[in-house]
Chain A
Amino acid sequence: MSEKVKHNEQLEGIFKYLNDSMSNTERYDFERDLERDPFTYEAFDGLSQLKRSEIESDLLALDVISGKKKKTNKALKWISVAAVFIALISGTFYLYENFDSFNFRTAKNIDKNIPEKINEPLAFKKEVPKIVPVDTTRIMLAGVDSNSATQQPVPSKYGNTVASNTLTSGDKPGMKDSAKKRAIFKTPADVVPMMASKKTEESVAEIVSVAADDQTQAAPAAEADKLLHEEIATKEEAVKRLGANADPEPLGGSALYKTYLDKNVKYPASVEKPQRETVRVRFKISKTGVPTNIQVEKSPGEAFTNEAIRLIQNGPRWSPEIKDGIPVEGEVSVKITFKP
């Protein structure tokens, strides 16, 4: 962390100026920059009241606070990703195992009962609300992504779901053509009876009989489902007809991506003889534009490898490879230059 503070060129300039170790031309350049930038001008007014050591220790203290924040956030994120992932797997499992025991009409009739049933102390109660939103979002995302011949970024409110997609979409490439199939298998209406099936036969019979009374209410939900499927189908059709193809590209363009790499690369401190080094990495771009499966092709050492992976993972997202207008998983190779 202390390195970060030291690496700030502008701050370094301010210290140098206050320390009176600048030539007159350097002083002038510094002052000219101040005049140009009111933010720095006022900040300088404030900072010049303190000693260098005071400024440094204060900034360091502030850095620790934001660092703590970062860590808890990261932990939270991973926990939520894991939870969603587990929920997804177990949901799919139940679905798979019990698919034949119920027909669709019963399934959809029960749909309306979800809220009440969730409140019961089932062993897997927690999973129910999670599976439902995730899967519907996935369907939505499929719609958004297949639209991305124009390559729009995914709306931010799906932030967490996108993260979980990194895990799932990466290892199930077979699913790419079957947004429709996915939609049929994993709509809320279909997942719920599987949950119910985990209970004893009697209680299932009970649910079904209760649901039978609610048939009229259940109808709109089924209707909405159908509409959603149709909408996705037509969107995919439309994009297919366009037949666009595109290679994966970092959002913001390659030039800016290079700048991002150059600006953020940190030369590993542990290296004894620092010299110019290059690392080449190859990685996959998921359908949602997230870099995954990072593999190193060439690297002088582990410290460099780790830094390269950090840069790619923290870097901008990508636009996915587009084949016939449909986003598919793509692969890219990137070279990172380390300057001591």
Chain B
Amino acid sequence: MPSTGKQLEFDRQLDLLQIKQFRRTGDMEVLGDLYQKYMHLVYGVCLKYLKNRSDAQDAVISIFEKLTIDAIRQEIGHFKNWLFVVTKNYCLMEIRKRSADEAKFSNWQEDEKQIMELCIEMHPLDESAKLSDALQDCITRLKDEQKDCINLFYFKKKCYREVGKMLHIEEKAVKSSIQNAKRNLKICLERKHE
């Protein structure tokens, strides 16, 4: 089921209500219920970064503990996005703890900046069906493979697998092409605004 903007807004409001209730009563069950709703996502992200099941499970618990404090201290406008930032930051910190490697350290730091941006705004491509002229122009400037992927996925509504078959590339390559294209589009749009 494709999630509509209305639904998303409703979920957001419902989450905020639960946060408010938790702040008012300090009832862990309320926060637990809320966390439970997104636990599979938190676990998934932890799996991706920590790369093993037991570490990821520990992380899910630690993040919940962190939440019990941070949910009161911090201002939360959008719980799901906020939880994503908290989760990802937690994982990056864990990785940082694991390796004292300086080079990796600086790499991750850069990555962290990216998350914050990623969360605050949706990509213009995903935001609305109508494309701005600037965005359309940026699409024409993309590399061929990226352009094809964007066109087939976003406008012809073909799934990754179909796109892959049509362009004779692997499904994974389609996915990363779309990601790279989106990043390039963002850079291109930012340049235009300057």
A residues with a Cβ closer than 8 A to B are: 4, 8-11, 14, 24-25, 27-29, 31-33, 35-36, 38-40, 42-47, 49-50, 54-55, 58-59, 61-63, 65-66, 69-70, 73-74, 77, 153-154, 156, 159-160, 162-163, 251-252, 256, 259-260, 263, 314, 316-317
Contact = CB atoms under 8 A, between A and B. Distances in A.
A314 B28 CA distance: 11
Given A24-B162, A38-B118, A62 B57 contact: yes
Nearest to B85: A39
B14 A73 contact: no
Of all A-B residue pairs in the complex, the 3 with the closest CB atoms, nearest first, are A43-B44, A46-B47, A46-B48
Given A33-B3, A156-B72, A45 B44 contact: yes
B40 A70 contact: no
A33 B153 CA distance: 12
A156 B35 CA distance: 20
B118 to A, nearest CB: 5
12 contacts: A28-B157, A28-B159, A32-B157, A38-B118, A42-B45, A43-B40, A55-B40, A59-B39, A66-B35, A70-B29, A153-B24, A259-B10
Interface string B110-122: 0000000011001
Given A58-B53, A69-B32, A39 B17 contact: no
B29 A156 contact: no
Interface residues of B, number: 62
Given A27-B159, A36-B122, A42 B32 contact: no
A62 B43 contact: yes
Contacts of A39: 38, 41, 45, 80-81, 83-84, 87
A162 B84 CA distance: 32
Nearest to A160: B26
B104 interface: no
A63 B72 contact: no
B23 interface: yes
A28 B158 contact: yes
Contacts of A27: 159-161
Interface in B58-88: 60-61, 64, 72, 80-81, 83-84, 87-88
Nearest to B72: A156
B182 to A, nearest CB: 8
Nearest to B119: A38
A61 B58 CA distance: 11
Contact of B161 (A24, A74, A259, A260): A24
A297 B92 CA distance: 54
Interface hub of A9, A43, A45 (most chain B Cβ within 10 A): A43
A49 B64 CA distance: 23
Contacts of B123: 35
Nearest to B46: A46
A173 B87 CA distance: 47
A163 B10 contact: no
A159 B41 contact: no
